[in-house]
Amino acid sequence: MVEIPSGSAGAIPAAEVEDVELYHPGSWWTKYVFSQDAKIIAVQYSMTAISIGLVALVLSWLMRLQLAFPGYFAFIDADHYYQFITMHGMIMVIYLLTALFLGGFGNYLIPLMVGARDMVFPYANMLSYWIYLLAVLILVAGFFAPGGPTGAGWTLYPPQSVLSGTPGGKDWGILLMLSSLIVFIIGFTMGGLNYVVTVLQGRARGMTLMRMPLTVWGIFTATVMALLAFPALFVACVMMLFDRVLGTSFFMPAIVEMGTQLQHGGGSPILFQHLFWFFGHPEVYIVALPAFGIVSDLISTHARKNIFGYRMMVWAIVIIGALSFVVWAHHMYVSGMNPAFGFFFATTTLIIAVPTAIKVYNWVLTLWRGDIHLTLPMLFALAFIVTFVNGGLTGLFLGNVVVDVPLSDTMFVVAHFHMVMGVAPILVIFGAIYHWYPKVTGRMLNDVLGHIHFWITFLGAYAIFFPMHYLGLLGVPRRYFEMGETAFVPPSAHTLNIFITVMALLVGAGQMVFLFNLVWSLFRGREAGGNPWRATTLEWQTPQTPPAHGNWGKDLPVVYRWAYDYSVPGAAEDFIPQNVPASDGVTREVSA
């Protein structure tokens, strides 16, 4: 670490761009409903995402009830079970995690953290939310359509997804799912362009890219990836829609359905898998990178210590983002492909472990000899690290072709991806909500309720997903409605299934504590003040809390230092905000 004496940071360049002219709402409708303010849009995105996420949570309960007590609940038949699985997966991955991290946290934090008044195109930003809402409504319409939602699995693999054997395949289900995805991508593109341009072109004076908080780096990189990965999903959805509606054969081989030869022929189901996973694998990191970024800031702030290896953290985010575009076929080891490809994709997959491990080491080294405050955000951040390491290690198993082949389509895979891209990012979301709720509302979330919520969620998630590894090693397949008489599955597996289901119900119920806390604290929470965590980043330095329209009052902030000046030797406080001039404290710059 290089110490640079104060005053040597150099003069801050003059403003290159004149101050932005904001749209000033004239009525209640344009202020709170059709708002062009990124902060309102962020809350709208978050509330919609959490609401649809609750639907997915209930669906997971229903699935677990069927797995633990097969045949006991008459209304869960095989068709319903597959519909629950499909909708649970799709909602969680796209409509909850992607929308909440990018649309929710991205909208709230990017303009505040880079010192902008708003997103660069507030009108397009507003449209982005309303189109997202439309996508959610189309998705939900599937539950009420004739035949119900699609039951094709969240990967929607053809040909089964558009055949009559699959729920929704010949009804409305698959049509609504594909339309909803197409609409979602259009809406996301409008928002995503905003996030990227705001970070690249809309920063405050003095805010260089290498002074941005890692939260912004994570969300920014994830958004760039989303803009390049979603096109593949868009194309795949359009083509499958044509296969289903117009009778084309992009993905449909010659096939016999229920004894009838269909008109299709010559299409390639593998082509869909390639398109889907070219989107699908980056999607994993679209969800993970914002979590990486946010958790870095939570750890640094609540351990009162600068993040270890800031530059390495930034480059690790960028390298992970780039590599994730060349690993997609590791989802297709059992689909049949040239063994040389398997070798290539296994290699790239394992290379990703290097920058990821760098990040984990840096988080741990940030904690090392830090002044760790076991606040709720810190607890969730710690929980994230252990969960992510756990899920990441099983990823090394599944990234190898020879290990993946026997484990493919078992509960081991379910355990792996729920740990690594389900539980881990959700823990970060909770931590982030406990961290930034005071800025959004001006009040703290209740600490006791928060601790109850944390321990139920953290221990419960392990109780749910840890035994699934064991089930997978036993060979229990995933996506099976019921096991029936299966010689290789011992009775203990069934007992374990009951345990998992009870835990799932408990953890789900535990989330009600969180929701109650959100509402209760809005009215009864302790007044937070402007900077309750004594954090350095710009969003805590706003003149008002919650920040007003335009964020900064008359003058835009000027940034003099990086985002991690915690416990600087010789400084009066244990934190120096980014907008404090160099002469007012010791300046510490990042070393390479």
Partner 1 sequence: MAQTIGTHGEPDLRPAGLRGVAADFASDQRAFKTASWGKAMMWIFLLSDTFVFGCFLIAYMTARMSTPVAWPNPSEVFALHIGGQDVPLILIAIMTFVLISSSGTMAMAVNFGYRRDRRTTAILMLLTALLGACFVGMQAFEWTKLITEGVRPWGNPWGAAQFGSTFFMITGFHGTHVTIGVIFLLIVARKVWRGDFDQERRGFFTSRRGRYEAVEIMGLYWHFVDLVWVFIFAFFYLW
Is residue 125 a contact residue for partner 1 (CB under 8 A)? no
Angle between the 339-367 and 310-323 helix axes, to the nearest 10 degrees? Answer: 160
Is residue 254 a contact residue for partner 1 (CB under 8 A)? no
Kindly identify the residues of this chain, within the stretch 520-559, that bind partner 1 according to CB under 8 A. Answer: 559
CB 560 within 8 A of CB 12: yes
Is residue 563 a contact residue for partner 1 (CB under 8 A)? no
CB 345 within 8 A of CB 330: yes
Binding residue (CB under 8 A) for partner 1 from 89, 122, 377, 392: 122
Is residue 502 a contact residue for partner 1 (CB under 8 A)? no
Kindly identify the residues of this chain, within the stretch 145-204, that bind partner 1 according to CB under 8 A. Answer: 189, 192-194, 196-197, 200-204
Is residue 16 a contact residue for partner 1 (CB under 8 A)? yes
Binding residue (CB under 8 A) for partner 1 from 265, 529, 543, 553: 265
Binding residue (CB under 8 A) for partner 1 from 267, 290, 370, 450: 267
Token readout for 123 is 């009108």
**Cα gap 105→566, rounded to integer Å:** 23
Taking alpha carbons only, the member of 47, 52, 29 closest to residue 108 is 47
Is residue 280 a contact residue for partner 1 (CB under 8 A)? no
Is residue 120 a contact residue for partner 1 (CB under 8 A)? yes
Among the candidate windows 161-169, 230-238, 333-341, 517-525, which touches partner 1 by CB under 8 A? 230-238
Is residue 15 a contact residue for partner 1 (CB under 8 A)? yes
**Cα gap 40→25, rounded to integer Å:** 12
Kindly identify the residues of this chain, within the stretch 286-325, that bind partner 1 according to CB under 8 A. Answer: none
CB 150 within 8 A of CB 232: no
Is residue 337 a contact residue for partner 1 (CB under 8 A)? no
Is residue 512 a contact residue for partner 1 (CB under 8 A)? no
Is residue 219 a contact residue for partner 1 (CB under 8 A)? no
Q: How far is the CB of 136 from partner 1 (least distance, A)?
A: 22
CB 218 within 8 A of CB 293: yes
Angle between the 424-441 and 491-524 helix axes, to the nearest 10 degrees? Answer: 10
Cβ closest to partner 1, residue 39 vs residue 203: 203
Going by C-beta distance under 8 Å and a sequence separation of 6 or more, which residues neighbour residue 227?
A: 189, 192, 193, 196
Cβ closest to partner 1, residue 208 vs residue 572: 208
Q: How far is the CB of 265 from partner 1 (least distance, A)?
A: 7
Is residue 207 a contact residue for partner 1 (CB under 8 A)? yes
Cβ closest to partner 1, residue 211 vs residue 588: 211
Quick one: DSSP state of residue 422? I
Q: How far is the CB of 114 from partner 1 (least distance, A)?
A: 10
Q: What is the phi/psi pair of residue 588, to 5°?
A: -125, 120
**Cα gap 216→199, rounded to integer Å:** 8
Is residue 248 a contact residue for partner 1 (CB under 8 A)? yes
**Cα gap 450→380, rounded to integer Å:** 10
User: Residue 2 forms beta bridges with which residues?
Assistant: none
Number of residues that bind partner 1 (CB under 8 A): 58
Quick one: DSSP state of residue 101? I
Q: How far is the CB of 35 from partner 1 (least distance, A)?
A: 13
Q: Which amino acid is at 465?
A: F
Residue 432, exposed/middle/buried by CB under 10 A (0-12, 13-18, 19+)?
buried
Q: Which amino acid is at 62?
A: L
Is residue 4 a contact residue for partner 1 (CB under 8 A)? no
Token readout for 100 is 């909440």
Q: How far is the CB of 189 from partner 1 (least distance, A)?
A: 6
Binding mask 432-451 for partner 1 (x = CB under 8 A): --------------------
Is residue 238 a contact residue for partner 1 (CB under 8 A)? yes
| Virtual torsion, Cα 434, 439, 443, 446, nearest 10 deg | 0
Taking alpha carbons only, the member of 203, 112, 222 closest to residue 537 is 112
Binding residue (CB under 8 A) for partner 1 from 3, 24, 490, 495: 24
Going by C-beta distance under 8 Å and a sequence separation of 6 or more, which residues neighbour residue 39?
A: 107, 108, 111, 112, 440, 546, 547, 551
Cβ closest to partner 1, residue 270 vs residue 483: 270
Cβ closest to partner 1, residue 166 vs residue 189: 189
Q: How far is the CB of 237 from partner 1 (least distance, A)?
A: 11
Binding residue (CB under 8 A) for partner 1 from 55, 182, 228, 483: 228
Q: How far is the CB of 118 from partner 1 (least distance, A)?
A: 11
Binding residue (CB under 8 A) for partner 1 from 6, 155, 268, 400: 268
Residue 290, exposed/middle/buried by CB under 10 A (0-12, 13-18, 19+)?
buried
Binding residue (CB under 8 A) for partner 1 from 165, 247, 529, 553: 247
CB 70 within 8 A of CB 158: no
Binding residue (CB under 8 A) for partner 1 from 6, 23, 145, 451: 23
What residues make contact with partner 1 under the rule CB under 8 A? 12-13, 15-18, 20-24, 120-123, 189, 192-194, 196-197, 200-211, 227-228, 230-232, 234-236, 238-239, 242, 246-250, 263, 265-268, 271, 275, 278, 559
